[in-house]
Amino acid sequence: MERNTTINNKEKVTLGYNEIMITSKYFNDIKDFINLEIGIKRFQGNMERFHFNPIPLNEHSRKFFPNIETFHIYEENDDVFNDGKIFKEVIWYKVDYSRYLKEKETGNICKDIVYADKDREKYGTTIPPEVKSLRIGCFGGCEELTSINIPTTISELGCDCFNGCEVLTAVTVSTSISTLGNECFYGCSSLPSIDIPTTIVELGDRCFEWCLSLSKIHLPMTLKKLGIGCFGYCSSLTSITIDNIQFISEERIFINEPVLLSIEIPKNLVRINGKNIEKRDINEFIIPSTVNELGDYCFYQCSSLTSIDIPSTVSKLGDHCFWGCESLTSIDIPSSVIKIGNDCFESCSSAININIPSSITELSKNCFEGCRSVTSITIPTSISKLGNWCFSRCYSLISLHLPTTITSFGEHCFDLCDDKLKENKQIPRRCFE
């Protein structure tokens, strides 16, 4: 037990056997357990006191825990022992519902139970309360599913979860859900509406694409990520309610803060927040200072955007953020930005000037691919890595100030650039292939 002693009027806490055993449960390696017993004599025998293994074991480390009764299996590839006093297993990695039932019969415990398509075919469309998540395509193409109630034990709906459920008309999404995965409700052609709770922070790519009957949707201000094509081909979608609308351009609706998001305007949309849509020139949009991140696909294919003033409050530019902004002539990234996402400025074909601040330490893959009008680029000394295809298809790039700090050149990072760049011996030949 814990003991308190006083030395020079200062109280000193001495850990007892129980306290050190509780503390050592959080060790990550067998070496930590061994060093504890070698270094502090009175804690010798600590491992022998455990009746379960607090870390994965192998043939070597198993002998240090002779009194295990419950064996914990943390990863699917862990070694499993059933020798000695062991009579029960606790499985921490994901297991399908069918296996969980078999393990339960033998007295074992499963901590992370997944409902898969084979489970659904065998046990039905009602999600059991023990289930924590749904496997990819769990209800995909389920022809008899007309309604679904997702229990509060589920925290995430994965990719293709209800893809192609053509007769699905009612979905209850519990407040325990935080993510709707890619193509989660893709092709649910009979679904007229869905309530997205405020616990949702992410809608995946093409999440509701081809939901032909979807006529209205509410986008909460809690959203931090909106995938591409989220409401593509939703031909009946005429009304959207948005908690935090920022701007409506000819192509996109910009919403939320501190992560600025956008969606492509659905083809037949006529009303937002109960009012007729009033579209404005994208070049009139002033990004508010309350924004600290431009989300993935934020200005995606804003073809009429000629210039953009990114406020100094912004620290991150998301993936595909300015992809295909073919009228953008100048790219001026403020020094507050510390990360540029993949494909961020890809196919900004009219960009002549590109300013990269010293706050950036690496250039992500494809980040300036297809900026075919730029002729000269200065890469700051803060950068040590160039991602794959980083400046690929920059056909006019003939002048490049490349610091000696670059230690990693991505594959094809200068592919199809002007041949004059090949004179720079610092660039590996493979970068031009």
DSSP calls for 140-158: TT-TT--EEE--TT--EE-
- Long-range contacts: 63-70, Cβ < 8 Å, 24+? 64/30, 64/33, 64/34
Strand, coil or helix: 258: coil
Cα–Cα distance for residue pair 237/185, rounded to 1 Å:
15
What's this model's pTM, rounded to 2 decimal places? 0.85
Tokens of 84: 């000695």
Q: What is the mean pLDDT of residues 207-226?
A: 96
Q: What is the pLDDT of residue 15?
A: 74
Helix (H) / strand (E) containing 65? none
Q: Is the pLDDT confidence value at 2 over 60?
A: no
Cα–Cα distance for residue pair 145/140, rounded to 1 Å:
10
Question: Contact, 57 vs 79, CB < 8 A?
Answer: yes
Least confident of 59-63, 90-94, 417-421: 417-421
Rounded to the nearest integer, the mean pLDDT of the chain is: 94
Percent of the chain with pLDDT over 90: 91
For 97-238, list the strands marked E by DSSP.
109-115, 133-134, 147-149, 156-157, 170-172, 179-180, 193-194, 202-203, 216-219, 225-226
- Residue 408 confidence class, pLDDT cut points 50, 70, 90: very high
Higher pLDDT, 15 or 386: 386
Q: What is the mean pLDDT of residues 256-279?
A: 95
Q: pLDDT (tens digit, 9 = 90+) per residue, 327-361?
A: 999 999 999 999 999 999 999 999 999 999 999 99
Q: What is the pLDDT of residue 8?
A: 56
**Domain map of the chain by residue range?**
3-86
Q: What is the mean pLDDT of residues 175-204?
A: 95
Q: pLDDT (tens digit, 9 = 90+) per residue, 356-398?
A: 999 999 999 999 999 999 999 999 999 999 999 999 999 999 9
Tokens of 247: 């701007």
Cα–Cα distance for residue pair 65/86, rounded to 1 Å:
11
Cα–Cα distance for residue pair 216/305, rounded to 1 Å:
29
